[in-house]
Structure 1
Amino acid sequence: MYWLTECHNAIQWGNSLRGDLFRSKQLSYLVLLAALVTLVVGLMLFLVDPNIKSLFDGIWSAWVTMTHVGFGDVVPVSFFGRLLAAGLILFGLVLFSLFTAVVSVALIGRNMHALEMDIEQIGQKAGRIQTGEDRILDELARLHKRMEALEKQLLSNTETTTD
């Protein structure tokens, strides 16, 4: 029964995260950018490379290259086709890095209110500690003055008894 509860909690968490991600404009822009790059580079591959026989093959080749799947069923053979594919590989790396960053921001942003409360509590505790430290330092300074006065009195008493 415990695992059913955990599975239910995991599904709720996943749905909540999905909602947060779909509300994020950055993710929408990222997906739109990926789609546009796939279409444009797919068209360019179709126009430039003789091994790419149709527009669909060009788009397919661009997609599997950008996502680093690389099935190998449709590959560019010309210099410019391979150059486009190399650029698409680098773009895919950047795309996945940005996707990871967007997901990280969504995950971290969900817990910011808890972090802000923790930081506020830490600030309050630090203020109380500082106040306590100030009182201790004041007491030490007072004790130091009393010790000096006692040492002077002891020194003057010893001088008068030795004379």
Structure 2
Amino acid sequence: MNQSLYPITQRFLAWFSRPVLFAGLLLSIPAFYLLLATDNQHLVQTGHTLYLVAAGLIALDTYWKWKGNRRQSNRHSGKMVLDMGITLGCLISAIQFSVVWSPVEWLLRLGLCAAILLRIAMLVLQHMKPGHLVQIITLALLMLSSAGAGFYWLEPNVKNYADGVWLAFTTVATVGYGDIVPSTPSSKIFAVFIVLLGYAMFSIVTANIAALFVGEEEKIFERELHADIRLLNREIGALRDELRRRDKFLAELEHKVRSLQEKQH
């Protein structure tokens, strides 16, 4: 590759790989729940296909990162190992071992889901800067809306999308009014992950709101500090002018004294 084009290519791959990785991680979530629909072979087959597509996207992103980091440090090696593990897990999950999952298979699949959610959280936090409260709240609302759709799909007691959003909110907020509760294994598993994501998202939102108030106080203190510094600079400048005038006066006085002494001699 032309050396002059190498930085441009690297920037393009770095920009393009983020949505590719994010899409692959997101596709693996519905794939997990589609495999739970053992009574519908078409849904199960769709779940296998989504797992294969997710594995391909994550593997493509991992290859781009490996190719781009060969000349750099290994600071992304941990994330690449996690991505490769998720890719392998998606490929294995795409294989139909049995209709009913064994306890070991349940644990492995739940472990894969936990790794996927961890990687999504790492990816989101990596590009989330402090003070971007609007973006964070928007992301929280999107997560709540998606969780509502998930409960509407997975939970038979949820009769409409509004009830799904309500169940998602009470689950994320860990309120638990008890009017609607998850009753199926798939919705219970979904609720566990929603609670974990909810804790993280609420922590980020509250931390940014607190930082907003603290930031305002810091701005006021900074303005007062700058005003004091400007006042101090003016006083120092006035003192320097006064010292210059005194030095000039002393120099003139010394010159006059010497002139008088020379006249006397």
TM-score (norm 2): 0.33
Q: Is the 8 A contact 2:152 2:164 kept in 1?
A: yes
Q: What amino acid sits opposite 1:77 in the alignment?
A: S
What SS does structure 1 have at the residue aligned with 2:196? helix
- For residues 100-139 of structure 1, the C-alpha deviation after alignment (integer angstroms, 9 at most, x for no partner) is 2112221221232425829x97xx9xxxxxxxxxxxxxxx
Which contiguous aligned blocks of 4+ residues in structure 1 show a shift greater than 6 angstroms? Answer: none
- 1:25 CA drift (Å): 6.4
Task: Say yes or no: does 1:45 pair with 2:160.
Answer: no
Aligned residues: 98
Q: Structure 1 108/49 Cα, relative in aligned 2: closer, same or farther at 3 Å? A: same
2:202 is matched with 96
Of residues 198, 209, 218 in structure 2, which corresponds to 1:112?
218
Question: What do the CA deviations read for 1:45-95 (whole angstroms, capped 9, x no partner)?
Answer: 111122222222111100111122221111111111011111111122112
What is the RMSD of the two structures over their aligned residues, measured on CA atoms? 2.6
Q: Does 1:67 pair with 2:173?
A: yes
Are 2:54 and 1:54 equivalent residues in the alignment? no
Q: TM-score, normalised by structure 1?
A: 0.52
Q: Point out which structure has higher relative CO (alpha carbons under 8 A, 6+ apart).
A: 1
SS for the counterpart of 1:77 is coil
* Cα contact 2:137–2:205 (8 A) shared by 1: no
**Cα deviations by residue, 1:13-39 (Å, 9 ceiling, x for unpaired):** xxxxxxxxxxx9622122211221121
- Determine helix, strand or coil for the equivalent of 1:111: helix
Q: Is the 8 A contact 2:170 2:176 kept in 1?
A: yes
Unaligned 5+ runs, structure 1: 1-23, 125-163
Greater percentage in helix: 1
Structure 2 distance, partners of 1:75, 1:105, is 35
Partner of 2:139: 33
Contact 2:131 2:212 in 1 (8 A): no
Structure 2 gaps of 5+ residues are: 1-129, 233-265
Letter in 1 for 2:213: L
> Counterpart of 2:182?
76
